[in-house]
Amino acid sequence: MGDPMRIRATVAGDVVEVKVLMRHDMETGQRKDLEGKVVPAHFIKNLQAKWKDKLVLDAQFGPSVSKDPFLSFKFKGGVKGDKVSVTWTDSKGDQRSDEAAIA
C-alpha cells in the first residue's frame, strides 16, 4: 500500500472540484538500476472516485504517467461535508483508498 493521498474537495455552486496528489513511484519497466538490471514495471492502473457510493470518476492509467501523479476533476451535486473517496490499484495488485470531506 502506498503513502496516503492528499485529497482536497471544494464546492462552488453545484460543482465540486477534487484535487488528488498520489504518492507512487510509477516505474515504467524500461529504466535500469545502477547494476544495469531492468527495474520492473510498477504503476497505478486503475483509479476510481466515489461520492455517496456513486462513481464519479473511473480512470485507467499506464506506465507513461509521471511519478507522484496529480489529478483534478469536477462533478456536480456535492455539498459541504459530503465525503469523496478515491481508490487506486497498481500493476502489482496493491491498493490504496483515502477520503476527504468537501469544504
pLDDT of residue 24: 95
- CA neighbours closer than 13 Å in the CB half-sphere of residue 61: 28
From first to last of its 103 residues, the chain has per-residue pLDDT tens of: 568 999 999 999 999 999 999 999 999 999 999 999 999 999 999 999 999 999 999 999 999 999 999 999 999 999 999 999 999 999 999 999 999 999 9
- For residue 3, the model assigns a pLDDT of 85
Task: In whole angstroms, give the CA distance from residue 64 to residue 28.
Answer: 7
Q: What is the CA radius of gyration of the chain?
A: 15
Domains and CATH numbers, the chain: 6-102 (2.60.40.10)
Q: Residue 36 has what pLDDT?
A: 96
Nearby residues of 2 by Cβ (< 8 Å), 6 or more positions away: 22, 23, 24, 88, 90, 94, 96
* Separation CA 67–CA 43 (nearest Å): 9
pLDDT of residue 2: 67
In the sheet with 6-12, reading across from the earlier edge strand, the strands are: 6-12, 15-21, 70-76
